[in-house]
Amino acid sequence: MGTMEIITRKDFRRLVEGLLGDYTLYGPVEKEGFPAFARIERFSQLRLSRTPTHLSAKEFLFPPRETLLRFDLKNGDVREVVDAQNQAIIGLHPCDIHAVNLLDRVFSYGTPDRNYLARRKRTVIIGTECTPDEYCFCSSLHTMTVDRGFDLFLHETERGFIVRTGTKRGRRLLERYTSATKAEKADLERLERMVERKEKMFRTRLDAEPSQLPLIYRGADSSPVWDRIGRVCYGCGSCNHVCPTCYCFDVKDDITLDLEDATRYRVWDGCTLEDFAKVAGGHNFRKARSARLRHRFNRKFRYLADRFKGLFCVGCGRCSRTCLVRINISEVTNEIIRETKER
């Protein structure tokens, strides 16, 4: 878990202002009354929120649109584009840090993704504690707490913040910007009580252990739930867009009108979109929305579990929170669990 120390609120301000001077800083701000991740340019903009954000901070590691190659067609030259800068993201909740850990595995698997990994290497992660709402179910997926994947993690208390250090880089930041003192036994006991209170706050829970979910979903291919939710789904891709672990992308080329230059870039794609599984000749392997939804749920709970040693749902509830027709991932999963138990 790393070391635990205490910093005051003045120390916290010095930490943020130090990061503002040395990094491009992103964190939660208030947008139209809701918390949202954005560029922080002064301390007063930062709104550390215990409320889940509708969008994750994934875009700062894996942008929605990213240039990969530039071509000089006239001379036949190709230049790789790797756009990475020193940046820091503050305010990530435990489930989102788990999501970043999963993306690290994905983009390191097989042929490493140089763009993502270069950006990740130069990114400071500072986590903060959260309070679950009616959509959160991270407790059921064991992602309510996190012990790696961050440089610093802050637990707010009456005295200031209990700080967990996760990396040597985090240790250097703490020493450089703050006057941290060692956490006392009372502080550690306070932290344990905070975790216990948080566990009791969850109103949404899954009715099976995470380790059982891949097998449960394996037996649910013919479940009537897919046709039922497929009939109401708009196929809009909102669930893909807000998910912190969705990583599918499409690759496109833009060529200038004079045919002298071209750019290859990637953009986010989503398995619930109609064209996602369409191939040459107009054939579509998952034309029905029910089939696309079944694929998405299996991607979260089954298909990737063995390859990447973890479920790709972290229980943040964003897809349920933003679905226009109220398809709820925890309710669907519990329905499938009940069907399995009734067989």
Based on the domain organization, do 224 and 191 belong to the same domain? no
Question: Taking 90 as the threshold, does the pLDDT of residue 331 lie above it?
Answer: yes
Count: domains in the chain: 2
Residue 112's φ and ψ, nearest 5 degrees, are -60, 140
Model confidence at 220: pLDDT above 80: yes
Domain termination residue (choose one: 152, 181, 200): 200
Helices (H), 182-315: 185-200, 213-218, 225-232, 238-242, 289-301, 305-308
Structural domain boundaries enclosing 96: 4-200
Assign 75 to helix, strand or coil. Answer: coil
Q: Do residues 269 and 247 lie in contact, with contact meaning Cβ atoms separated by under 8 Å? A: no
pTM of the model: 0.95
**Residues 168 and 64 occupy one common structural domain:** yes
Calculate mean pLDDT across residues 288-296. Answer: 97
Q: What is the average pLDDT across 115-130? A: 97
Phi, psi for 277 (deg, rounded to 5)? -100, 15
Single out the residue in 135, 168, 200 at which a domain terminates.
200
Mean pLDDT, rounded, for 307-332: 96
Q: Give dist(CA 230, CA 226) in Å, integer.
A: 6
Handedness of CA 99, 100, 103, 104 (dihedral sign): negative
Domain assignment present for residue 343? The answer is no
> Domain check: are 98 and 232 in the same one?
no
> 246: pLDDT confidence band, cut at 50, 70 and 90?
very high
Question: CA-CA distance, 46 to 68, in Å (whole number)?
Answer: 32
Q: What amino acid occupies position 224? A: P
Looking at the fold, whether 194 and 220 belong to one and the same domain comes out as no
Is residue 283 included in any domain, yes or no? yes
Q: Are residues 312 and 241 in the same domain?
A: yes
| Pair (196, 221) in one structural domain | no
The band of 3, judged by pLDDT with boundaries at 50, 70 and 90, is: confident
pLDDT at residue 149, as a whole number: 97
Residues 19 and 146 in one domain: yes
Residue 266 and residue 191 in one domain:
no
CB 32 within 8 A of CB 230: no
Domain match, 52 and 189 both:
yes
Region 310-336: mean pLDDT is 97
**Residue 40 included in any domain:** yes
Predicted pLDDT at 2: 63
Q: Please report whether residue 229 resides in a domain.
A: yes
How far apart CA 91 and CA 170 sit, in angstroms, is 15
150-185 pLDDT per residue, tens: 999 999 988 799 999 999 999 999 999 999 999 989
- Contact status, residue 149 vs residue 101, Cβ threshold 8 Å: yes
| 235 and 133 assigned to the same domain | no
177 and 239 belong to one structural domain: no
Q: Is the pLDDT of residue 1 over 60?
A: no
Final residue before a domain boundary, out of 200, 224, 242: 200
Q: Are residues 163 and 219 in the same domain?
A: no
| Interval 241-260 mean pLDDT | 96
112 in any annotated domain:
yes
pLDDT at 342 over 90: no
Q: In whole numbers, what is the pLDDT of the chain averaged over residues?
A: 95
